[in-house]
Structure 1
């Protein structure tokens, strides 16, 4: 991997070609180091992606094999499954997750809830207002936390506008992309199962 586009030149951060004999030696060494490490990282990333795909395929094949013992053909995507080694020291988990988000109707729910709070007594409204504001706050990615908002539906409140708001929340939930996760665990001396990290930051 290299940023060279012409022999004897290197492209700088502004996109200009700079003769290598005009670049400080330490800058050349730094560039070589970064380029080499990035190349190796991309190669490792490809290997991990291949390993993940192959491992998930093997788990799904085993689930099919196990089902065949009972004359069942599962077909399609498999659900969540946990496989444990015979000695209980290792676990492999295949989990299916889905990304949920709200459409524009969640904003109508927020207005309805605010209207409820406005007509309620002072004593109860402060606490509930804080709870609602917390539930509808936007995260760093600019999204509303689905679980936080859904927690409002657990409140036992009988009020037409509140119930209408809860219906709006339920109707506004949209299911986006589904993603499969592979997690592998090893049992430690204290008996707990700890994840085997492949995240370089956690090694």
Structure 2
């Protein structure tokens, strides 16, 4: 029985079997390269080329992020050593700037907020208010309330609309208790740190982001 010799070439997607070239299809079947349509082979080559560049760029961005935090951490360690205090504002938000004021790096910490069972109490109180106000309640308030307590496809509450409810200036005591319940329901379940870079041509110019996000490049 003839021995089967497999040689894989992951960068091209080609598998050699006893010296012949094959490519696995989406079901895992080995298809002779000569039987594959030229358009399909060209599409395969194009995607592999793009993914190859994307992998390299992703690794480079990862190294850039790590170097950035290392450099800023080293700088802050020097500040702490010299002044006995760390640079930063609330929640760790910080801005680092060049001496000429034309380049800056911002470090921002974003909290992820979830809501506890108090939110259902708040919804009940808000519903009581709306039902009693009936025709006297403005339609835009009803719309905000509806959007705020409706969940999306992932079952998530609309946080932006919840925060908009908190900004409404309504004197009804039940409404105030509802807003207190919403605040009590808020809990930070995690956070993520972002680094954003900006530059400008002169002090009079607006800041322009140094784009790293592929979708915004």
TM-score relative to the length of structure 1: 0.84
2:212 to 170, 187, 198: 198
Are 1:6 and 2:20 matched, yes or no? no
Structure 2 residue corresponding to 1:95, chosen from 103, 108, 121: 108
Distance 2:135 2:211 in 1: 50
User: 2:194 pairs with 164, 181, 193, which one?
Assistant: 181
Q: Which moves more between the two structures, 179-188 or 129-138?
A: 129-138
For residue 185 of structure 1, report the CA deviation from its aligned partner. Answer: 0.5
Q: How far is the alpha carbon of 1:142 from its aligned partner?
A: 4.4
1:195 CA drift (Å): 0.3
2:187 alignment partner, SS class: strand
Structure 2 distance, partners of 1:120, 1:97, is 37
Are residues 23 and 121 of structure 1, via their aligned partners in 2, closer, same or farther at CA, if it must alter by over 3 Å? closer
Structure 2: distance between partners of 1:183 and 1:52 = 10
Could you list the runs of 4 or more consecutive aligned residues of structure 1 that deviate by over 6 angstroms after TM superposition? none
Give the Cα separation in 1 of the matches to 2:86 and 2:38.
64
Partners of 1:120 and 1:26 lie apart in 2 by 65
The answer to whether 1:36 aligns with 2:45 is: no
3-state SS of paired residue (1:178)? strand
1:35-69: per-residue Cα shift (whole Å, max 9, x none)? Answer: 12102201110110111111122112212212322
Instruction: Give yes or no for the alignment of 1:145 onto 2:158.
Output: yes
- Distance in 2 (CA, whole Å) between partners of 1:10 and 1:70 is 63
| Stretch of structure 1 that moved more, 124-133 or 21-30 | 124-133
- What's the secondary structure of 2:83's corresponding residue? coil
1:118 equivalent in alignment to 2:131:
yes
Residues 15 and 168 of structure 1: CA distance in aligned 2, closer, same or farther (over 3 Å) = farther
| Structure 2: runs of 5+ lacking an equivalent | 1-9
- Tell me: CA distance 1:48–1:68, structure 2 relative to 1, closer, same or farther (3 Å): same
Aligned-pair distance for 1:130?
2.2
Which consecutive unaligned segments of at least 5 residues does structure 1 have? none
Normalised by the size of structure 2, how large is the TM-score? 0.79
CA distance in 1, matches of 2:185, 2:14: 51
Could you say what the CA RMSD is over the residues aligned between the two structures, in angstroms?
2.6
Of the two, which has the highest radius of gyration? 2
The answer to whether the Cα contact below 8 Å between 2:12 and 2:45 also exists between their aligned partners in 1 is no
Q: Is 1:83–1:92's contact at 8 Å kept on the other side of the alignment? A: yes
